[in-house]
Structure 1
Amino acid sequence: MGKVHPKVDEAIETLNMRDNPTRRRLLAGTGLVSAAGAASALLAACSSSSSTHAAVATNGSNPFPAVPNQKYYFNNHADTNEFFTPTKYGYSDAVALLGLPAPTWGGSATSADSEMVSFMNTAISAKAGGIATSVIDSSMATPVKNAMDAGIPVVTYNADGIYTHGVPQIYTNRLAYVGQALYLSGQAMGEQIKTLVPGGGEIVIFIATPGTGNIQPRYDGAVSVLGSSYHVSEVATSTVDGTELSTEKSYLLGHKGTLKGAFAVDSGSTANLTAALKGTGTSIPAGGFDTDPRTLSGLQAGTIKFSIFQDPYQQGFLPTLYLYLYNLSGGQLAPPDTDTGLTVLTPSNVATMQKNSRFQGGSSAQMYIPRPSGAINQPVGTTST
């Protein structure tokens, strides 16, 4: 492995990411780094002006050092779900920035363990340069270990295991996790519910796939703060959009008159809440997760009172960046656990998220911030202004 590029080294110094060069262990108990801060620091350091670096960028060449075999695989538990469209844009932008080939996306559309394990085995057989995978249960333990033993770095994103009474049960020896602190996000949801339904009562929390490590911790976190005055029903909706809506409508109709609030812990179940409430003539507080366009419309109309954002774009961008840096340094630059955020959206602050952008998956158009005259990394086809 060659010498680390000085700009990359400077960026890592800024991020304070240095660690044991042979790191192949769990990172349980370590602090989570801000995703926005990590990305900003790296890009700022890599964009700082120097005559040599600027000349390379001006000539249209990639300013980042080349590393052999940078073919990455993204393994996902809901690989056809529109929620992950920004994730794909995130890794697409990262590989464009770094001059890498496009990652291979796959896994399972229905959280099927066998399909996710099979995709991991495909990546290992192909001698991938790195793997990013969601971990929704213990089935990933062996394939992740096999990849790491084969010298393939693995990071997790979106889901890293499951929580039992708030304690993370991390199933794999992955290098790092990039995603929301799921149990804590559930506790934040519980606090929102207590504000909307003061004093307790009967509520429902819809969940696509009970027991899976990507959303069960949210339910558990919410219940942990609600207390005995709340009578909570956990209702499975599935990962199929139409089934989610029909399940919610059926439940709301069956409990009309007694139900004090309806909530959800996943993107699809939250997105269908507005239509379910309107379709059953039910007017009760509601809320959930993520920024599906239907959820944003419900927030704007006030039908949905809150939705908790976890930044799926960063969950594609940062794992790609971390795998590249790990490989570039020969394992010296071990990636950090990174919290991609917990932002509570309400009708009063939802306007920013309603912009039709690549970062929310609503537009494929590349987004960029114009730079001063003479700055490097101008978007293709533009000139300095």
Structure 2
Amino acid sequence: MKRLAKALVCLPLLLVVSCQQKDSAAPPPTPAGTSSSSAPKLKIGYVLHGLNDFTQVIKRGAEDAAKELGVDVEVVGPASFEATEAIGMFEGMIQKKVDGLAVIPMPGEVWVKPIKEAVDAKIPVVTANITSDGSASEAWFGQDEYQSGVILAQEIRKLLEADGKKSGKILAGVCKPGVAVLDERYKGFKKGMEGAAYSVTDPKDVGTENTANYSAWENQATANPDMVAAVGFCSMDIPNLAKLKTRSNGKWLVGGYDLNAETLEAIKSGNTQVSLGQHPYLQGYLPVLALVRHLRDKLPLPKGWVNVGTEIVNKGNVDKVYPRETKRDEETKWYADHVKKSFTDLGTLAKPLPKMHP
């Protein structure tokens, strides 16, 4: 699979890039409980790139899909976001002889060999959130990372202009430099700022560990007292930026990614202005759905990219989004309806991966 130049609506400001497809002639997945009682349950493994609030949403999506489809799923991931640990877990799944595997392959280049090992063992593999360039996995589930950066830049520009700030420095932070999806977000953000009088800093390394992430942002804010906005490209950034802004009485705007409870509460309080959601629930649910349809219903796996969409959340719609993102029953119901409406035929939805930007 080609590297994604890239590990997060039905509402007024939702931008779903994927097309809404009508029901196709493809047979639906076998409903839970309809297979022969003597047939063993399919066993699906899902290896996350790490464990935090964001990936817990992916886990819930995978588990809901398994429950709905009547299969077993085991979702694992390293606490430290270390690829070597994740690969060890993946190889353990191969040895367990699971029927299918989903993985978030961060960074993509180190996953080519493990994915090949699984495919050689006749275990189908799909990827989500991050792609693995040149791997044997052909199906990927995620958003257009570059375009999401463009969207975020456009939102920040509108907010700054409404705040009377026509120019100034925007501080950019990346939790894992060199990861394709984050590079793409940053490049898209820079593109979206073209033609404006704002200057965007080089992407500062702010780390993935929560305490270290806060300290890194604190150091950067001290070093850039003239900034008009701080933008983070990872899920842990906005919660820490919101805390820092409160403690330092900062006057700068905050924008970034993902819709965990702390981020949504920061938007509700006014400490954060905008965040982009990437439907992590779907990044858990749809890979399991695709594998079950392939293994049990004999449908081919999607070939290419299934776009989960990008969602803009700000003060105008946060109250509508908040229940779905913070209450388990509402999350399950909302996404069950969304999958039925928008992801009936994954094969038809699949298209070439977004191109990588230099």
TM-score bracket for the superposition, by shorter chain length? 0.7 to 0.9
Residue 111 of structure 1 aligns with an amino acid whose one-letter code is F
Partner residue of 2:154? 191
CA 1:286–1:363: 2 relative to 1, 3 Å: same
Deviates more, 1:133-142 or 1:69-78: 69-78
Give the superposition deviation at 1:285: 1.6
- Residue 96 of structure 1 pairs with residue 64 of structure 2: no
Partner residue of 1:238? 207
Aligned 8 A contact 1:253 1:280 in 2: no
Partner residue of 2:310? 342
Superposition map of 1:289-304 within 5 A: 289-304=257-272
Give the superposition deviation at 1:41: 5.1
CA 1:27–1:264: 2 relative to 1, 3 Å: closer
- Residue 74 of structure 1 pairs with residue 46 of structure 2: yes
Select 1:252's aligned residue among 215, 221, 224: 221
Residue 261 of structure 2 aligns with an amino acid whose one-letter code is P
Residue 129 of structure 2 aligns with an amino acid whose one-letter code is N
Give the superposition deviation at 1:122: 1.2
For normalisation by structure 2, the TM-score amounts to 0.78
Give the superposition deviation at 1:28: 8.4
Whole-angstrom distance in 2 between the partners of 1:345 and 1:192: 10
Partner residue of 2:347? none
Q: How many residues align?
A: 314
CA 1:368–1:77: 2 relative to 1, 3 Å: closer
Partner residue of 1:108? 78
What whole-Å deviation, never above 9, does each CA across 1:256-290 have from its counterpart, x for those lacking one? 2x112111111101221111111111111211111
What whole-Å deviation, never above 9, does each CA across 1:217-242 have from its counterpart, x for those lacking one? 21122123323851413222222212
Could you say what secondary structure the match of 1:263 adopts?
strand
Give the superposition deviation at 1:36: 9.0
Aligned 8 A contact 2:142 2:306 in 1: yes
Give the superposition deviation at 1:367: 4.2
Whole-angstrom distance in 2 between the partners of 1:302 and 1:74: 36
Aligned 8 A contact 1:271 1:294 in 2: yes
- Residue 154 of structure 1 pairs with residue 125 of structure 2: yes
- Residue 309 of structure 1 pairs with residue 274 of structure 2: no
CA 1:173–1:227: 2 relative to 1, 3 Å: same
Whole-angstrom distance in 2 between the partners of 1:241 and 1:105: 22
What whole-Å deviation, never above 9, does each CA across 1:76-97 have from its counterpart, x for those lacking one? 111x211122222211111111
For normalisation by structure 1, the TM-score amounts to 0.73
Whole-angstrom distance in 2 between the partners of 1:65 and 1:361: 37
Aligned 8 A contact 1:69 1:129 in 2: no
Whole-angstrom distance in 2 between the partners of 1:108 and 1:214: 19
Residue 285 of structure 2 aligns with an amino acid whose one-letter code is F
Give the superposition deviation at 1:64: 5.4
- Residue 363 of structure 1 pairs with residue 336 of structure 2: no
Residue 212 of structure 2 aligns with an amino acid whose one-letter code is T
Whole-angstrom distance in 2 between the partners of 1:252 and 1:216: 21
What whole-Å deviation, never above 9, does each CA across 1:16-72 have from its counterpart, x for those lacking one? xxxxxxxxx76989xxx977957x959xx859xxxxx9xxx8xxx713578756211
Partner residue of 1:172? 135
Partner residue of 1:129? 99
CA 1:171–1:185: 2 relative to 1, 3 Å: farther
- Residue 213 of structure 1 pairs with residue 213 of structure 2: no
What whole-Å deviation, never above 9, does each CA across 1:308-356 have from its counterpart, x for those lacking one? 01111111111111000111244x422252111111111111111211x
CA 1:27–1:364: 2 relative to 1, 3 Å: same
Residue 189 of structure 2 aligns with an amino acid whose one-letter code is A
Could you say what secondary structure the match of 1:267 adopts?
coil
Residue 363 of structure 1 aligns with an amino acid whose one-letter code is R
Partner residue of 1:140? 111
Could you say what secondary structure the match of 1:272 adopts?
helix
Partner residue of 2:341? none
Aligned 8 A contact 2:146 2:187 in 1: yes
Aligned 8 A contact 1:27 1:175 in 2: no
Aligned 8 A contact 1:249 1:280 in 2: no
Give the superposition deviation at 1:244: 1.5
Could you say what secondary structure the match of 1:239 adopts?
coil
CA 1:312–1:365: 2 relative to 1, 3 Å: same
Greater RCO (CA < 8 Å, at least 6 residues apart): 2
Whole-angstrom distance in 2 between the partners of 1:365 and 1:352: 11
What whole-Å deviation, never above 9, does each CA across 1:116-168 have from its counterpart, x for those lacking one? 2212211222222111111222001111112112211111111114xxxxxxx
Whole-angstrom distance in 2 between the partners of 1:347 and 1:307: 10
Whole-angstrom distance in 2 between the partners of 1:107 and 1:259: 36
- RMSD after superposition: 3.1
Superposition map of 1:30-41 within 5 A: 37=20
Whole-angstrom distance in 2 between the partners of 1:28 and 1:197: 30
Which blocks of at least 5 consecutive residues in structure 2 are unaligned? 6-15, 335-358
Whole-angstrom distance in 2 between the partners of 1:250 and 1:145: 42
**Structure with larger Rg:** 1
Give the superposition deviation at 1:104: 1.8
CA 1:65–1:139: 2 relative to 1, 3 Å: farther
Residue 131 of structure 1 aligns with an amino acid whose one-letter code is L
Aligned 8 A contact 2:48 2:55 in 1: no
Aligned 8 A contact 1:34 1:338 in 2: no
Partner residue of 1:285? 253
